[in-house]
Amino acid sequence: MSKITSFSLLECKREGKKFTALTAYDASFANAFDSEGIDVLLVGDSMGMVLQGHDDTLPVSIADIAYHTRCVRRGVKRSLLIADMPFMSYATIEQAMTNAAILMQAGANMVKVEGGHWLLETVTKLTERGIPVCAHLGLTPQSVHLFGGFKIQGRDDDNAQRILTEAKALEAAGVQLLVVECIPAQLAKTISETLTIPVIGIGAGADTDGQILVMHDVLGISSGYIPRFSKNYLKQTGEIHEAIRAYKDEVEKGIFPSSEHTFN
């Protein structure tokens, strides 16, 4: 199978084909996901919670992400590999340049940043220097304390319009992918239909171009809180590879996420 690129995902969007993404943190799981045809793997700062046992993602460092990116890279042959820029690693353009370079040199094909208008110049500078960028809007976990917890975003008209406006501005600045998290399904649909670039949803309904979940949620091994938008495919199938195939199949057929995994 040919390698997945941002242009592959753009072609999927143009053809109306759903694509799949999962988080990954080591070579073995990355190889399993890659071999089952998962299109995008994210070395997420979610590792702060699911690997390190923290209450949020804020303690994760660039060194953490770079280490796990190198591990995941060794297990990947086909999937597009995105690495998260962790909390305060891109607060200035200079920081963003230095830290994005570290992650690209570790094996990432793209870096992901959380935020809207304040990131526009940073996105432009990164893309000018050959670093592809994925943006993240809606519930941005690095801002959890600003939000007062892990809460749905964009439910009122003003915030919905702000998120849409920021999505369009980020695309204009050069972002190649956008993740939208925990927003109403109708807003996610509007964003996906408005933007030319592919939109990946998590807790954002079935009308985005792709879906992503945290691997620990898909396999039912997360400790503590299980998000409403996730689904335990290992419980459904009983075997890891079958679980990944079931997730991929349900996303591509539009079965997942269903109404029970969606916010209105």
Q: Where are the domains of the chain?
A: 6-261
Q: Tell me if 236 sits within 8 A of 243, measured CB to CB.
A: yes
DSSP string, 121-149: HHHHHHHHTT--EEEEEES-GGGHHHHTS
The yes-or-no verdict on residue 225 having pLDDT over 80 is no
Q: Looking at domain 6-261, which of 3.20.20.60, 4.10.490.10, 3.40.640.10, 3.40.50.10320 is its CATH number?
A: 3.20.20.60
Q: pLDDT tens, 13-69?
A: 999 999 999 999 999 999 999 999 999 999 999 999 999 999 999 999 999 999 999
Q: What pLDDT, on a 0 to 100 scale, did the predictor assign at position 1?
A: 67
Share of the chain above pLDDT 70, in %: 99
Cβ neighbors of 72 (< 8 A, separation 6 or more) are: 24, 25, 26, 27, 30, 41, 43, 81, 107
pLDDT at 12 over 90: yes
Determine if the pTM surpasses 0.95.
yes
For residue 109, the 8-state DSSP code is S
Measured in whole angstroms, the distance separating CA 19 from the mean position of its chain's CA atoms is: 12
Average pLDDT of span 126-139:
98
- Give the model's pLDDT for residue 179: 98
Task: Quote the pLDDT of residue 125.
Answer: 98
Average pLDDT of span 236-254: 97
The tokens describing 26, both together, are 């080591």
Mean pLDDT of 104-108: 98
The string of pLDDT tens digits covering residues 182-191 is: 999 999 999 9
Give kind and range of the element (H or E) at residue 24.
none
Any idea which residues carry the catalytic annotation? 181
Q: Around Cβ 151, how many Cβ atoms within 10 Å?
A: 10
